[in-house]
Amino acid sequence: VLSNNSNVGVFINDLSAITNKDMLALILDGFSILAMITSVFGVAIGLCDYILESLKYKMEKHTKIKSVILTLGIPLIFSVYFPSGFILALNFAAIALVILAIILPVLIALKTRKSYKKSQYRVVGGNLLLYFTLIIGVFIIGLRVFQLL
């Protein structure tokens, strides 16, 4: 598998050839289901609290129920009527992540370097590395947008 530069699918097929296929499929299905469930619960808990705080609701039972309906009900309706929407949402989430994790930190670092020119602490690479990272972030967003078209 490693010598052929293969992907995970080839690895699973090779593993299936030497093990019980049914058991391997059950383990992989169980793992992926648990990963999705924990991901949904983690996001839902955070989003429920965010909705309550942003709408300035008190932490009462009926407001929590409204928050849960907003958090889980709308995506449930969306996924029932648009089943491939999850993958589309992941593409948009990838764009938001690139902005949040790559572009914003680079812009903050550039602004901070401009404001505090005499600071003794500098990361290796200077502004050239920051601009290179910014270009990579914009390139990743371009790839995502191109994939959506």
pLDDT digits (tens, 9 = 90+) for 73-95: 887 888 788 877 777 777 788 89
pLDDT over threshold 90, residue 106:
yes
Averaged pLDDT, 104-110? 92
Q: Phi then psi for 116, rounded to 5 degrees?
A: -115, 75
Q: What's the pLDDT band for 2 if we cut at 50, 70, 90?
A: low
Question: How much of the chain, in percent, has pLDDT values that exceed 70?
Answer: 89
Region 15-22: mean pLDDT is 71
